[in-house]
Structure 1
Amino acid sequence: MNNLQYQTLTAAQAESEQAALYNVLHACVAEGASIGFTSLDARPMQRLWQGVITSLANGSKQLIVARQNGEIVATVIVVLEMPPNGEHRAEIAKLLVHPKARRQGIARILLQQAEKLAQQAGRSLAVLDTRTGDVAEQLYLSQGWQISGQIPAYALSTAGVLDATTVMYKFLQ
């Protein structure tokens, strides 16, 4: 059985694990995940993690990772910094599971932990968006998320196609 552990990383821990974080992101993009990247160019992916590390340091984001046999295989970011009229909400972002670690319930557990973290931070509403029709959409629905709406031609995919996105929300209790 694979040893799975979940951990909320500090900025210093994320800094030291930057290569592992990059590897998860790169593998997901290589598989066609719609997560903000249209190519396998390393520079924007590295900039993403550098920005996350800065946000961890100032408390505007939290990062939860899953480790399998000690290696980071999945991530989720909880965005806590919102404008004054949105301080009751958090955004769930970059729920990523390395292709070699999928179909083990890791994404479900990370999502539950992200929701709990947001709730502990005083947030009563969580929001996210996902590619319409993607397997992730079904995961979110199975966990009680609601569809707010869909936006056609929202994001350019790695295949060069404009995909729709589904905007979702969940009240945290």
Structure 2
Amino acid sequence: MRGVDLSPLSATPDTREQLTELLMQTVAGGGSVGFMHPLMLEAATDFWAGALAAAERGERIILGGWDGPQLIGTVTLILNTPPNQPHRAEIAKMMTHPRWRGRGVATMLLQAAEAQAVLHGRTMLVLDTASDGGAAGLYERAGYTFAGELPDYALKPYGGLTGTRLYWKRIGDEAGKN
């Protein structure tokens, strides 16, 4: 996709503000990313402050997609795993600005996260997505294997339970070993 720049995010005031706005828009739009509606500004700001601090410590990489100065999407690669799982990383908090959905931004971010995982010596990625309204199709098109579904896993942003679908993918040197 032309015109979109991908990069790891840092804790600049503008980036924190745009991440906060994107999270609030995602939750208001019904996106199941761990928060309930209405999401208060302070809670969204605190989440990103903690996540960006974890990124500064090397525990995760937060990638952003930019259209000029506007943040149009983000995904997090969680690297902080238990000692017996140094080969694994987790994909989390995939969000695309509503005006950019369906234009390939999430696919680009996912590919960039996979590339970062390989650079960090990871050979297995895992993720979960809501059963109702989640991004299962995106992950399946990207080669993730459906591992199973947990019913009534979490509340949707406006209430009511939804399951979660679990996925995995081998990457790097292990990519051909399913």
Asked if Structure 1 and Structure 2 have the same fold, meaning a TM-score greater than 0.5 normalized by the shorter chain, the answer is: yes
Partner residue of 2:175? none
1:66-113 Cα offsets, whole Å, 9 max, x none, are: 011321010011000100011110000111001111111000000000
Deviations 1:35-66 (A, max 9, x none): 00112222221121011111011100101100
Corresponding residue SS for 1:169:
strand
Residue 85 of structure 1 is matched in structure 2 by: 84
Q: Show structure 2 runs of 5+ residues with no match.
A: 173-178
Deviations 1:129-149 (A, max 9, x none): 000143511000000001111
What residue in structure 2 maps to residue 32 of structure 1? 30
Q: Which residue of 2 aligns with 1:57?
A: 56
Residue in structure 2 matched with residue 9 of structure 1 by the alignment? 9
% identical equivalent positions: 34
In 2, Cα distance between equivalents of 1:32 and 1:133: 10
Alignment TM-score, normalising by the size of structure 2: 0.91
TM-score for both structures, normalised by structure 1: 0.93
Report what 1:19 is aligned to.
17
Judged with a 3 Å threshold, the aligned counterparts in structure 2 of structure 1 residues 75 and 29 are, in CA distance, closer, same or farther, namely: same
> Any unmatched runs of 5+ in structure 1?
none
Where does residue 151 of structure 1 map in the other structure? 150
- The residue number in structure 2 matching 1:41 is 40
Tell me which protein shows more helix as a share of its residues: 1
Q: What is the DSSP-based 3-state SS (H/G/I as helix, E as strand, rest coil) of the residue aligned with 1:141?
A: helix
* AA aligned opposite 2:35: F
| Letter of the structure 1 residue corresponding to residue 8 of structure 2 | T
> 1:71 maps to which residue?
70
Tell me which residue corresponds to 1:124.
Answer: 123
Structure 1 residue 2, shift from structure 2 partner = 6.9
Q: Do the aligned residues in 1 keep the contact of 2:132 with 2:162 (CA within 8 Å)?
A: no
Distance (whole Å) between structure 1 residues aligned to residue 128 and residue 87 of structure 2: 18
Stretch of structure 1 that moved more, 99-108 or 42-51:
42-51
**1:101-116 equivalences in 2 (<5 Å):** 101-116=100-115
What is the alpha-carbon root mean square deviation over aligned residues? Answer: 1.5
